[in-house]
Structure 1
Amino acid sequence: MSEEQVTEERDDGAPIEVLEQYFEARGWACERTGEGEIVASATGSWAQYELRGVWRPEDQVLQFLAFPDIKVAAEKRSAIFEALSLINEQLWLGHFEMWSGSGLVVFRHSTILDAREDEGLSLEQAEAIAEAAVEECERFYPVFQFVLWGGKAPGEAIAAALIDTHGEA
């Protein structure tokens, strides 16, 4: 691919447009909910994930969120906070958090894109951001379920969920 083609690809529009192209290429239902926001739905092996991209041009920041459809009741929040802490120690990109008002668990990652340098969001970056979010939600979804429904302590839940299997059953 020539340098001119790469520049054209990056000039396709704002990051939300690039995310929209990526979501459509994956066959994920998506819709724009505002000028700088898009929402998509991705099916994982554990849950249906809501993916949300929010562009803040004044800060040149793209925030990417993935909601794994987990809502935490008040009596389980301290255990989930401990699980979040243990999970986040293992992440290289993004982090999980729980929103205090609603109890929703969310994976969040922000990226600074310098449009002044003509370095918008490429399709490859959109793919990396979205795939990382879905992969981390898939990897840690069982931890939340073990704590919320299985009655396991956060450390036990992580140990149980992250067992590497070898071979086939």
Structure 2
Amino acid sequence: MLNQANHDTDDAAPLDMLEAYFAAHGWEHSRSDEEIVASVKGSWTTYELRALWREEDGVLQLLAFPDIKVTDDRRAGVYEAIGLVNEQLWLGHFELWSSSGTLLYRHAALVDGGEEAELSLSAAELIVDSAVDECERFYPVFQFVLWGGKSPKEALAAALIETQGEA
């Protein structure tokens, strides 16, 4: 696990910090000047994380793809589910790309500093962990709507049931 003790500085350029974070977790990743892509194994599926750095705007955008494609005949239900799910979120949001039917989670963070912009370890951890956590939390909602024959409200209620103990 990456922590302040084994990282050379408290802050780093946004993509450098994310690259160090991904490497510390042993996640497969690739990097270019303005983008880093990682593969993260969750309990439901493997998520593709894609971070884009827009230096001119000071914005780091993180996209998480839960490997869900939505066919045209299922879009109305998924759009309703997205609306219900997004009401539950404090950071980021889910959306559906109309051209491809790809479901994704998106979060953008303002990072001050222009060319000298730096991202803290705690900010990197918050951005990445919240994306993965929300994808894990709401993955069943979309599956219930797509394949389980549930309405979006039923799917959300079923997915958010708190279980106690272990089987």
Task: Determine the structure 2 residue equivalent to 1:57.
Answer: 55
Task: Determine the structure 2 residue equivalent to 1:87.
Answer: 85
Task: Determine the structure 2 residue equivalent to 1:3.
Answer: none
**1:11-26 superposed matches below 5 A:** 12=12, 14-26=13-25
SS of residue paired to 1:157: helix
SS of residue paired to 1:42: strand
How far apart are residue 118 of structure 1 and its match? 5.9
Q: Distance in 1 between matches of 2:33 and 2:74?
A: 37
Q: Tell me the amino acid that sits aligned with residue 92 of structure 2.
A: G
Pair 1:166-2:164 in alignment: yes
How far apart are residue 136 of structure 1 and its match? 0.2
**1:68-107 superposed matches below 5 A:** 68-107=66-105
- Aligned residue-pair number: 161
Q: Distance in 1 between matches of 2:63 and 2:114?
A: 25
Task: Determine the structure 2 residue equivalent to 1:113.
Answer: 111
Cα RMSD over matched residues? 1.7
SS of residue paired to 2:51: strand
Give the share of equivalent positions with the same residue, in percent: 60
Q: Measured at CA, do residues 20 and 117 of structure 1 come closer, stay the same or move farther in structure 2, by a change above 3 Å? A: closer
How far apart are residue 15 of structure 1 and its match? 0.7
The Cα offsets for residues 81-122 of structure 1, whole Å up to 9 and x where unpaired, read as: 000000000000000000000000000000001115966111
Q: Distance in 1 between matches of 2:159 and 2:62?
A: 25
Q: Distance in 2 between matches of 1:147 and 1:168?
A: 26
5+ residue gaps, structure 2: 1-6
SS of residue paired to 1:52: strand
5+ residue gaps, structure 1: 1-5
Q: Measured at CA, do residues 27 and 8 of structure 1 come closer, stay the same or move farther in structure 2, by a change above 3 Å? A: closer
Greater than 3 Å deviation, 4+ residue runs: 116-119
Q: Is the 8 A contact 2:47 2:67 kept in 1?
A: yes
TM-score, normalised relative to structure 2 = 0.92
